[in-house]
Chains A and B, each alone.
Chain A
Amino acid sequence: MAKSIDVKDLDIYYGDFLAVQGVNVHIKARSVTAFIGPSGCGKSTVLRSLNRMHEVIPGARVEGKVVVDGQSLYGAGVDPVAVRRQIGMVFQRPNPFPTMSIYENVLAGNRLNARKLKKPEADTIVEKSLRGANLWNEVKDRLAKPGMGLSGGQQQRLCIARAIAVEPEVLLMDEPCSALDPISTAAVEDLIHELKSDYTIVIVTHNMQQAARVSDDTGFFNLKAVGEPGHLVEFNPTTKVFSNPDESATEAYISGRFG
């Protein structure tokens, strides 16, 4: 079910402010693609434009093309809501719905879209998603408890379970581990490895070791200069980016000699 994504000449604006310019990327299906780069260079902005979450912010807009499986996401007549059902997202901070139990949180994508589920069917989805997110064994005895009662790492895995419960084609992850401790981070990274066989995953991370560990391809974003828009400096297989990058700027960033 996984799909590939082609990004062509993508310019992303916040009002009149051009945040990211001229991004061209081919994201392969059933692979993990990592976006790295310094803060404020537009990694998350690009990620959010891949499932039309960017335009949720007032005044934000996009020029250029994002093509998923031959269909342009920004073409005429495309419903952003339908796009988001196909392309799921996990955020930087775990954000389970505070009014819902663990069980309801996993089913949120289905329930909120008013899909009628029979009890056994719902149970199956919940167990499958929680197992998929490596959380089942920890929460199976307290599914009716509030999702907010879990630890930060468990909450984040709950959010991942919630995202995969609607069986999206693509999973976008915006710094999913930045609020987590190393053990929870390892759990999420293991999970990314497992999810790769079913989903196309794009992950934004500040942690270069993480990018090197989990991703197949890596894109390095940077600002052209202070006050200039961000752009994609280099996009190559991860092994190449971390051993022999094409651009000297990439090497400088990865080796810590930045700026």
Chain B
Amino acid sequence: MTHTEIAAPQEMAIRAGQLPRAATLLTVVFAVAIGGVAGMLLGSGFAVMVLLAWLVFLVSLTAWSTAVEGRRKATDRLVNALVWSTFAVAMMPLLSLLYTVIVKGGPVLTPSFLQSDMTGFASLGQGGGIYHAIMGTIMVTAIAAIIAIPVGLFTAIYLVEYSAGSRLAKVITFLVDVMTGIPSIVAGLFALSLFIVLTGDPLPRLGLGGGVALSLLMIPTVVRSVEEMLKLVPDDLREASYALGVPKWRTIVKVVLPTAVAGIVTGITLAIARVAGETAPLLLICGTFPEANWNPFSGAVQTLPVYIYSSLNGTTDAKYGDIWTDRVWGAALVLIIIVMALNLIARIIGNIFAPKTGR
């Protein structure tokens, strides 16, 4: 083709049909109507109606779009609708759970519920609280964090900065992956047998054991997240530091870690949030106790998840079942609040520490 031929006046084909902006909404209304009517005619339940409406929505939107807009946009709309549907399916249980726990647990959360423990209230139809369980959860989780954070952090630093793909590094990475898959009850059994050996007590109950069990679950998460964050630090920065005559360890402490600190803190906080709600290992090694036990080296420690579990047993009590149900919901709400607060703190810390690029 030569230039003179192109010069012939001809409009480029850049126009295409377009559905009205409210097309999706219209289709939803249409699909809900069809699904509802069809469901009523068939005499089926709500779930079938929703399913029918959903199918009608997908088919009619795709068909309409194909007719007006062509195949590419129709595919786009179909996939878009599928993605949104799966998102909705994923969110529904979460929202339902939050709603239920807040509605049922909210009224239970009075200052006295948060400030009193269960001493003497265990068999009464009133009073009692979860102060001891909140403190136990905080103490056990703190012990786990104190053990797991240094171990995980230093392992990750070794893997990224020092190992240089050695065989040992591959073995460690493999073992960390295996550890990620350890069932939490097995971690609890490990802690239990460890402290049976250490204390000689056939059934040891102590907060430290809970911390050890939780740290086992926490370490792989910490290693993985810190490792990923350290890998994100550009080698340019390490080289810049080496070229200034800075030794390797100071480069890691002063350049690499500060650059990655936002992600590291976020990862660690999320790991803490994950283990704060663990039940099975604490059931084995911490047991239950009606009041706050601040000594992690001896005696049972009450924690929120175990409190919820053991309170469930009380709900079948014919005389005082209701108060136990309230206690379960209240404790569940507090546990969710603690975990959510940790997540929120992680995000805030991440934002505070993020390297600033402002002018």
What is A's interface to B at a CB cutoff of 8 Å? 51, 53, 56, 58, 81-86, 88-89, 91, 93, 95-99, 108-109, 111-114, 142, 145-146, 148-150, 159, 162-163, 166
Contact = CB atoms under 8 A, between A and B. Distances in A.
A109 B356 CA distance: 21
Given A58-B165, A93-B236, A99-B355, A53 B246 contact: no
B71 interface: no
Contacts of A109: 244-246
18 contacts: A53-B243, A56-B242, A58-B164, A58-B165, A81-B245, A81-B246, A82-B245, A84-B245, A95-B239, A99-B355, A108-B241, A112-B241, A112-B246, A113-B244, A145-B358, A146-B356, A149-B359, A162-B244
Given A56-B242, A108-B244, A112-B244, A149 B357 contact: yes
A contact patch SS: mixed
Contact of A97 (B242, B243, B259, B358): B259
B358 A149 contact: yes
Contact of B244 (A88, A142, A146): A88
Interface string B230-242: 0000101111111
Nearest to B247: A81
A185 B165 CA distance: 39
Contacts of A146: 355-358
Interface stretch (B14-22, B249-257, B276-284): B249-257
A148 B243 contact: no
Contacts of A51: 243
Contacts of A85: 244-245
B1 to A, nearest CB: 33
Contacts of B254: 111-112
A53 B251 contact: no
A81 B328 CA distance: 61
B158 to A, nearest CB: 15
Contact of B239 (A53, A98, A108, A149): A53
Contacts of B125: none
B250 A166 contact: no
Q: Which of B242, B243, B254 has the largest count of A CB atoms less than 10 A from its CB? A: B243
Interface in B47-78: none
B357 A84 contact: no
A96 B240 CA distance: 8
A148 B236 CA distance: 14
A162 to B, nearest CB: 7
Contacts of A142: 359
Given A84-B242, A85-B244, A88-B243, A95 B237 contact: yes
A163 B247 CA distance: 16
A51 B243 CA distance: 8
B22 to A, nearest CB: 44
Contact of A98 (B241, B355, B359): B355
A86 B237 CA distance: 19
B258 interface: yes
A67 to B, nearest CB: 19
Interface string B267-310: 00000000000000000000000000000000000000000000
Given A85-B245, A108-B241, A142-B359, 16 more contacts: A56-B239, A58-B165, A81-B242, A89-B243, A91-B243, A95-B237, A95-B239, A95-B240, A97-B237, A97-B241, A97-B259, A98-B259, A112-B246, A112-B250, A146-B355, A149-B356
